[in-house]
A and B are shown apart, each in its own frame.
Chain A
């Protein structure tokens, strides 16, 4: 017996040591939220996030971070994803490390699901309050019913301080101010503890006499009805009556403590206002597009007609979250996440200004390792091989115009 005990102790100790050693040497924190594993066509052709701005990348507990921007609901929405008739503006963070204090689409607060229209642009804003210290990757995110989460770009935000300092007060319509973080916890623990004790007492009463072997023998020798005595039945009646009385008391006490309550609230907000046309008067026709796999480059033959009254110049191409910029024309000033920014990733055969009412055909190339790193090059394995993107032009008068691209894509493997 002692030998067996010694062996069990030895093996347990070794197992514990092994677990400790393996986790000490390699225990990485989560670096992202699976956006790279999301099909490229979903990132390109569903919700396109743009003009994003994170108000800060370092805050203390209880301080706020705003994420503002716009998103375009792609008109060429893929057939394999449900239409965004019911969608929810979420935020991609590892659990409640921030709380979502406010979120708005089109200026309306959206704690509930919304209905989005294809081809429309919406302005959004999310206000987060820091709760747990650490470095957190904060993504924009739209959950689409039947389609899943559509994750946008993510940015690292550092939270300092201590979670014990976090407070989340709110005042009810009955004039009571409570801290949501801890409100009602005492009541929950107390009543759960009480009922657990009552349950244990009920079981303990029956366990005071033998439980298994003698009862089994009696039950299987035709004497099972002798096993429940009159005293047992009286105790049962007492417990049942006590249970009913305690339930009625708890119900009444809750009603007197909280005389005004409302049911849980839910629903869909279907009248969210979209932005007026965000595109402008530059029209782009795609004559052909290829993705060169070895070079990680997408090339497009574009016929661009400038219908505006100012000269424009090609500045940026955005596919999914990746922004390819022509550094000769523009640069990012929004501290956009570096992993999805190619500051010199856009080139064209002729990027001279296109005058008002002028039409020009040029070859544009968006080339960067991020095609591969962000797994956007997997677009060539999609069942519906099309790409979706926004192409941006800077006007001489300081305006910014864009066009949506939604065309077939041919891979080049050699």
Chain B
């Protein structure tokens, strides 16, 4: 076969090769994103996602979307620009969640025996679908940043409330009011994570009384817009091919 001949001999063969490349590419992309995004997530918001007694209505709501809109923005910029693929954010989020579950199940439960109801990760898919959807419908990074990233942050707390609400039931524990999540964190000993490290309910949003979660979510949404822009540019830069002029 000379270098000018095609590697495939028929249209059917070309389609088959193309689909094989699709499956291999998606497999590789999924696990590369899983690894990279997982490291990023654990380094930037690890404990908030690790423990149920860190999932509060102020900091968890604020920090998690800000830290997790990053990779979706970058991956969207690459796959939308070069392939018009509309599921970049969802691909990132479900790969991250799968990686987190592997970590929580095999490390936290299988290795150190923390119950799953203390170490489950957050649900991210709804925000990711909304982020992808805005990009597909508007074909605009600006609109995706403003509306998509905002939706990504705003939907985070409501979609996770279903898995944390039960853990916020009140209990009188030896004369002190605690939630079930607080008691879990107290019971299941974390030698390296003393109680004072737990960053919850800190801040000065006292004016809003108990309705602080929406305010935190809107603040998170505002920052997400900016973070989306920054990471979308990182994605575009990362997806650029440059050739050097031979002298």
Chain A interface (Cβ < 8 Å from any Cβ of B) = 33, 86-88, 90-102, 109, 111-113, 131-132, 141, 143, 145, 149, 163, 168, 170-174, 176, 178, 180-185, 187-189, 191-192, 195-196, 198-200, 202-203, 206-207, 210-216, 218-220, 224-225, 227-228, 232-233, 236-237, 239-240, 243-244, 246-248, 250-251, 253-255, 257-258, 260-266, 268
Chain B interface (Cβ < 8 Å from any Cβ of A) = 15, 18-19, 21-22, 25-26, 53-57, 81-87, 90-91, 93-94, 97-98, 101, 112-117, 120-121, 123, 125-126, 128-130, 132-133, 136-137, 139, 155, 158-159, 161-163, 165-184, 186-189, 191-192, 194-196, 198, 200-201, 210
* Cβ–Cβ contact B90 & A261, under 8 A: no
Residues of A close to B98: CB separation below 8 A: 196
Contact A199:B90 (CB < 8 A) given known A192-B97, A210-B19: yes
A228 to chain B, nearest CB (A): 6
Residues of B close to A211: CB separation below 8 A: 22, 25-26, 83, 85
* Cβ–Cβ contact B183 & A112, under 8 A: no
Q: Which of B18, B87, B170, B191 contacts A260 (CB 8 A)?
A: B170
* Cβ–Cβ contact B26 & A263, under 8 A: no
* Cβ–Cβ contact B162 & A172, under 8 A: no
List the 8 shortest-distance A-B pairs measured between CB atoms, nearest first.
A143-B194, A227-B84, A261-B168, A254-B165, A250-B162, A88-B194, A95-B112, A96-B188
* Cβ–Cβ contact A109 & B168, under 8 A: no
A182 to chain B, nearest CB (A): 7
Q: Which of A86, A196, A219 contacts B94 (CB 8 A)?
A: A196
Task: For the complex, give the distance between the alpha carbons of A51 and B25 in Å.
Answer: 64
Task: For the complex, give the distance between the alpha carbons of A210 and B53 in Å.
Answer: 44
* Cβ–Cβ contact B179 & A251, under 8 A: no
Q: Which of B18, B101, B126, B136 contacts A247 (CB 8 A)?
A: B126
B142 to chain A, nearest CB (A): 17
Chain B interface, DSSP helix/strand/loop, else mixed: helix
A216 to chain B, nearest CB (A): 6
Chain A interface, DSSP helix/strand/loop, else mixed: mixed
B159 to chain A, nearest CB (A): 5
Among B113, B177, B194, which residue has the most Cβ atoms of chain A within 10 A?
Answer: B194
Q: Which of B54, B82, B189 contacts A100 (CB 8 A)?
A: B189
Contact A212:B18 (CB < 8 A) given known A199-B94, A263-B210: yes
Residues of A close to B130: CB separation below 8 A: 240, 243-244
Task: For the complex, give the distance between the alpha carbons of A325 and B164 in Å.
Answer: 53
Q: Which of B91, B136, B175, B181 contacts A264 (CB 8 A)?
A: B181
A2 to chain B, nearest CB (A): 20
B86 to chain A, nearest CB (A): 6
Residues of A close to B81: CB separation below 8 A: 219
* Cβ–Cβ contact B113 & A96, under 8 A: yes
Residues of A close to B18: CB separation below 8 A: 210, 212-214
**Closest A residue to B154 using CB positions:** A247
B99 to chain A, nearest CB (A): 12
* Cβ–Cβ contact A173 & B163, under 8 A: no
Residues of A close to B132: CB separation below 8 A: 202, 236
A-B contact pairs, 16 of them (CB 8 A): A33-B191, A96-B189, A111-B178, A173-B169, A174-B169, A200-B94, A202-B129, A207-B22, A219-B83, A220-B82, A228-B139, A236-B132, A239-B133, A250-B158, A260-B170, A265-B179
Task: For the complex, give the distance between the alpha carbons of A243 and B151 in Å.
Answer: 11
* Cβ–Cβ contact A132 & B182, under 8 A: no
Residues of B close to A131: CB separation below 8 A: 113
Residues of A close to B194: CB separation below 8 A: 88, 90, 113, 143, 145, 149
Task: For the complex, give the distance between the alpha carbons of A96 and B183 in Å.
Answer: 13
* Cβ–Cβ contact B163 & A180, under 8 A: no
* Cβ–Cβ contact A206 & B169, under 8 A: no
**Closest B residue to A112 using CB positions:** B195
**Closest A residue to B94 using CB positions:** A199
Task: For the complex, give the distance between the alpha carbons of A113 and B185 in Å.
Answer: 13
Residues of A close to B86: CB separation below 8 A: 206, 228, 232, 236
Task: For the complex, give the distance between the alpha carbons of A90 and B166 in Å.
Answer: 26
Q: Which of B55, B121, B137, B155 contacts A233 (CB 8 A)?
A: B137
**Closest A residue to B87 using CB positions:** A203
* Cβ–Cβ contact A228 & B84, under 8 A: yes
B242 to chain A, nearest CB (A): 15
**Closest A residue to B98 using CB positions:** A196
Residues of A close to B168: CB separation below 8 A: 258, 261-264
Task: For the complex, give the distance between the alpha carbons of A5 and B126 in Å.
Answer: 42
* Cβ–Cβ contact B196 & A212, under 8 A: no
Task: For the complex, give the distance between the alpha carbons of A207 and B19 in Å.
Answer: 10
Residues of A close to B53: CB separation below 8 A: 264
Task: For the complex, give the distance between the alpha carbons of A233 and B178 in Å.
Answer: 47
Task: For the complex, give the distance between the alpha carbons of A187 and B117 in Å.
Answer: 10
A337 to chain B, nearest CB (A): 18
Task: For the complex, give the distance between the alpha carbons of A33 and B189 in Å.
Answer: 14
B85 to chain A, nearest CB (A): 6
Task: For the complex, give the distance between the alpha carbons of A88 and B113 in Å.
Answer: 23
Residues of B close to A95: CB separation below 8 A: 112-114, 189, 191
